[in-house]
Structure 1
Amino acid sequence: MYRFFAALGFLLAFAGAAHWVVPAGRQAFALVSAQDDAARLADLQLAGVLTEARVAQEIDAALAENDAELAASFVELAQERGVPVTAERRSRVALANAPGASFARGAGSFGHGFLTGQGEDMAGLAGAAAGDLTVWGDVRDLGREAANWARGEPVDHFMVNLAGIGIVATGATYAAFGAPLTFRAGLSVLKGARRAGVVGGRFAGNIAAAVRGGSKAQLAALVGDLGTAGSKAGTRATFAGLRHVDDAAGAARLSALAQAKGGKTLAVVKTLGRGALFLTEAMAKLAYWIIAAALNVLGLIASFNAMVVAMLRPMWKKKRRRPLPLPA
Structure 2
Amino acid sequence: MRDSAGLAPQDVQKRLLRQHRLAPVLLVAVLLAAAGVYVVPRGFEAGHLFSIEDDPEAIAERALAASFNSDLANREIESALAAKDSDLAKSFVDLAADRQVTLAPGLADKVNVAVAEDASAGHAAQSFAYGLVTGEPSDMPGLAGTALGDLFVFGDIRDAVREGARLASGQEADELILGLACVGLAITAGTYATGGLAAPARVGLTVAKVARKTGRLSAGLAARVSRMLRGVVDGPALRRAAASFSITEPQLAVRAARDAVKLERADGLVDMARNVGRVQAKAGTQAALDGLKIAESPAEVARVAKLAEKTGSRTRAILKTAGRGAIALSLAAFNLTTWIVSALFTLTMFIASLKSATERGARRYFRYRKRRRMEREADAAFPV
Q: TM-score, normalised by structure 2?
A: 0.66
Offset at residue 231 of structure 1 (A): 1.0
Of the three residues 64, 74, 77, the one matched with 1:46 is 64
Offset at residue 244 of structure 1 (A): 2.5
Distance 1:147 1:236, change over 3 A: same
Q: Which amino acid aligns with 1:113?
A: G
| Per-residue CA distance 1:154-188 (angstroms, 9 max, x = gap) | 22222222222222222222233212211211111
Match of 1:226 in 2: 276
Provide the rounded CA distance (Å) in 2 between the counterparts of 1:252 and 1:220.
Answer: 12
Match of 1:209 in 2: 230
Aligned identity (percent) is 33
Contact 2:53–2:329 under 8 Å retained in 1: yes
Distance 1:92 1:222, change over 3 A: same
Distance 1:75 1:29, change over 3 A: farther
Contact 1:74–1:267 under 8 Å retained in 2: yes
Provide the rounded CA distance (Å) in 2 between the counterparts of 1:34 and 1:161.
Answer: 36
Partner of 1:45: helix, strand, or coil?
Answer: helix
Q: Which amino acid aligns with 2:272?
A: L
Distance 1:296 1:264, change over 3 A: same
Larger CA deviation: 136-145 vs 281-290: 281-290
Larger CA deviation: 139-148 vs 187-196: 139-148
Of the three residues 261, 278, 284, the one matched with 2:311 is 261
Structure 1: gaps spanning 5 or more residues: 1-6, 310-315, 317-328
Match of 1:281 in 2: 331
Q: TM-score, normalised by structure 1?
A: 0.76
How many residue pairs match? The answer is: 306
Match of 1:174 in 2: 192
Offset at residue 80 of structure 1 (A): 1.8
Offset at residue 294 of structure 1 (A): 7.0
Distance 1:123 1:216, change over 3 A: closer
Distance 1:275 1:60, change over 3 A: same
Distance 1:146 1:75, change over 3 A: same
Residue 164 of structure 2 is aligned to residue 146 of structure 1? yes
Provide the rounded CA distance (Å) in 1 between the counterparts of 2:163 and 2:185.
Answer: 15
Offset at residue 209 of structure 1 (A): 3.3
| Per-residue CA distance 1:67-122 (angstroms, 9 max, x = gap) | 11111111111222222224411111111111x34335554344223112235x44
| Per-residue CA distance 1:222-263 (angstroms, 9 max, x = gap) | 221111121111111111111222332122112111111111
Match of 1:321 in 2: none
Contact 1:107–1:123 under 8 Å retained in 2: no
Of the three residues 296, 299, 310, the one matched with 1:249 is 299
Contact 1:145–1:160 under 8 Å retained in 2: yes
Contact 2:40–2:343 under 8 Å retained in 1: no
Distance 1:220 1:123, change over 3 A: closer
Of the three residues 76, 83, 89, the one matched with 1:71 is 89
Match of 1:33 in 2: 51
Offset at residue 24 of structure 1 (A): 5.5
Contact 1:28–1:282 under 8 Å retained in 2: no
Offset at residue 49 of structure 1 (A): 1.1
Of the three residues 288, 294, 307, the one matched with 1:238 is 288
Offset at residue 269 of structure 1 (A): 0.9
Q: Which amino acid aligns with 1:215?
A: R
